Structure 1
Amino acid sequence: MHIDHADRTRRRAGITAVASCLPDREVTSQALQRRLIRSSGLPLPARAIERATGITSRRAAAAGEYASTLAVRAARTALDRAQIAPCDVDLLVFASATRDMAEPATAHIVQAELGSRAHALDVTNACNSFVNGIDTARAMILAGRAHRALVVTGETPSRAVRHDPATLDAFRESFAGYTFGDAGAAVVLEAVERGGILDVDTETHSEHWPVGGIMGGGSRHPRGDEHTYFRGDGSELREVFEKVGTSVLDRMRQRTGMEWGDFRHILVHQVTVPYLDRFVELTGVPRDRLVVTVPELGNMASATLGVQLDRVHAGLRSGDRVLFVGLGGGVSLMTIVWEKA
């Protein structure tokens, strides 16, 4: 579904500050595999995780660090870069696949730490949560419901990794979780007279929702350790995305008239290196336009695009365009075209 393609004369919402946060603790794939072997006794081949995923390391939150912790750190940096105070924000969106607890919304925990009084809410849609949060804030600004928004994410998917699979089948079922890394990100959005978010598109294929996820914590499985781990078939998930195809990207290019070379950077959700290679093969996106983070940081869930944007934001000039490509379990795809003012 295409959402509200703004024409060039209309006032738009734009991103005016960006920040990210990485935990200090690094976990290499070799260290992760050694822990798995110690806990399970499984005879795993040498460097099995690294060779299968292309991931050499990832970050993991320490004890006492939560999704809100990473979100708050990123938020404070973003506010400093925007040269605004928490009280200058009238909408706070915590947009993440991870949360501190089932209730209340983690946005309130973030807000209490920051000292803001903004309208606060959570947005959750797997690895598309952060881009969905940006679009939610954009829509509320254009509707006149908010003047300035702070969209934050804190992802700690490493807490959902099974470190003691009892069998090879359990190891395979849990394997997608071994790609996970933790991170936080934040953006400030406000109305802009030029540039800003030019185009948004989404595509949803909910018939594939059982492919992967964390099944515990809701009304189906409110308790029970077996449901607290991420379970999924990475190959099946990749097959779903390949089956869905490139239609959302094709529509964006046709509608906007933009080609890959019109974007300074293309930010895409990254699960593994082979998965990213396949994305390039299917879409034709030039590799030199990508911001590659997965080998050193793993799959950071919805924080992935925020971390990538923070890495390149300081080098952007007025008029530079960035394409966000979100891929999330459920299954959903999303594109955002943003131009720096």
Structure 2
Amino acid sequence: MSVVRSAVTGVGSYLPEQVVTNDDLAKFVDTTDQWIVERTGIRQRHRAREDQPTSDLATEAARRALADAGRTAADVDMIIVATTTPDMTFPATAAIVQRKLGAPVCIAFDVQAVCSGFVYALSIADGFVARGQARCALVIGAEEMTRLMDWSDRTTCVLFGDGAGAVVVEPREGQGTSADQGILGFALRADGTKTDLLYVDGGPSTSGTVGHLRMLGNQVFRHAVVNIAEAITAACAASGITVPEVDWFVPHQANQRIIKGVGDRLGLDENKVITTVADHANTSAASIPLALDTAIRDGRIQKGDLVLLEAMGGGLTWGACAFRL
């Protein structure tokens, strides 16, 4: 019996032109390139212009994903933007992207799960597309995390960058097995008792300000390795696959040590792990689609490959997804 799955049919990304190296940061922050690389693996990050809002990054990534899928804005009937740095409190950045793309009247909204936002958004699109409520969905992760930095705090400001990545999700028929093209399974989690580990100290109904990012890095690291590994195992079980079957692991690009820790815990072959953290830093909800696009463009990830995604962010939120390209 055939089943309808939602499949990733196009991928695109966009990075702002300005590159900020570790040596650039060392000019005004008490840090060094060696200190940052040893602790995080990060060597540089991109930074948006002052007149370049998140929607601009999202729109360009979306255009590239649509072109990759052989679609145009006229085909789009759903837009989900995962972001923690929206253009405005409202309307949703997705609605602004809709206007900038010239897409027709459609479903458009944002998802806020911080670094896990792309995985959460992809799960929502999966529900709409696989059930026939959308036929050409754009799922976008777009962030300008540099807007949230306290540039006097060297433990956080060196970690983040700006960027956007997008995928087109469309229905595809399959046989209901793990050999099908499309999204196979998810595991999504949240633990609101851990909000003090990673948060922004501002908001409309509290301080009336945007605020700055605050993090207890050691505790986030400890929770990340254990929780992400559990979610990956659960997502694989829901997908009818095992970790060794995975062709490529595309993790959230938070920190090279976290990526290695998760890989070691699960026994993942390091040659199967896609890492872009050195060049992009942590771009929150944008990091997975950015890394995915990078690996597709350079020829590593091919059609038919089994891909595993994972992320963890403030909330704490975390999750994993398996799909066959």
TM-score by length of structure 1 reads: 0.87
Q: Which amino acid aligns with 2:160?
A: F
Largest Rg, 1 or 2: 1
User: Structure 1: which 5+ residue stretches go unaligned?
Assistant: 1-7, 38-43, 166-170
Q: Does 1:133 align with 2:126?
A: no
1:323–1:338 Cα contact (<8 Å) kept: yes
1:23 partnered with 2:16: yes
The offset of 1:262, in angstroms, is 1.8
Q: Which has the higher mean CA deviation after the structures are superposed, 233-242 or 16-25?
A: 233-242
The CA deviation at 1:276 is: 2.1
Kept in 2, the 8 Å contact 1:322–1:337? The answer is yes
Distance of 1:318 and 1:306 partners within structure 2: 16
CA deviations 1:249-293 (Å, max 9, x no partner) are: 222344445333322211111212222222222222211111111
Which whole-Å CA distance do the structure 1 matches of 2:228 and 2:56 have between them?
A: 36
Q: Which residue does the alignment assign to 1:69?
A: 56
- Matched residue of 1:127: which SS? helix
1:76-91 matched pairs, under 5 angstroms: 76-91=63-78
Q: 1:275 aligns with which of 258, 265, 268?
A: 258
Counterpart of 2:309, as a letter, is F
User: For 2:51 and 2:323, how far apart are their aligned partners in 1?
Assistant: 35
Alignment correspondent of 1:160: 148
Identity of aligned residues (%): 28
2:16 maps to 1:10? no
Return the letter of the residue paired with 1:208.
K
Offset of residue 45 of structure 1? 6.5
- When structure 1 is superposed on structure 2, of 98-107 and 253-262 the one drifting more is 253-262
Where in structure 2 are the equivalents of 1:1-341 lying within 5 Å?
Answer: 9-37=2-30, 44=31, 47-117=34-104, 118-163=106-151, 165=152, 171=153, 175-194=155-174, 195-223=181-209, 228-244=211-227, 246-314=229-297, 315=299, 316-340=301-325
Judged with a 3 Å threshold, the aligned counterparts in structure 2 of structure 1 residues 18 and 290 are, in CA distance, closer, same or farther, namely same
**TM-score, normalised via structure 2 length:** 0.91
Range with bigger deviation, 114-123 or 244-253 = 244-253
SS at match of 1:15: strand
8 Å Cα contact 1:154/1:303 also seen in 2 = yes
Q: 2:34 & 2:185 partners in 1: Cα distance?
A: 42
After TM superposition, give the deviation of residue 175 of structure 1 in Å: 1.4
SS of 1:200's equivalent? strand
Q: Aligned equivalents of 2:196 and 2:245: distance in 1?
A: 37
- Take 1:242 and 1:274, find their aligned partners in 2: how far apart are those partners? 9
The one-letter code of the counterpart of 2:293 is D
Q: Identify if the C-alpha distance between structure 1 residues 277 and 65 changes in structure 2 by more than 3 Å, giving closer, same or farther.
A: same
3-state SS of paired residue (1:267):
strand
Gaps of at least 5 residues in structure 2 are 175-180
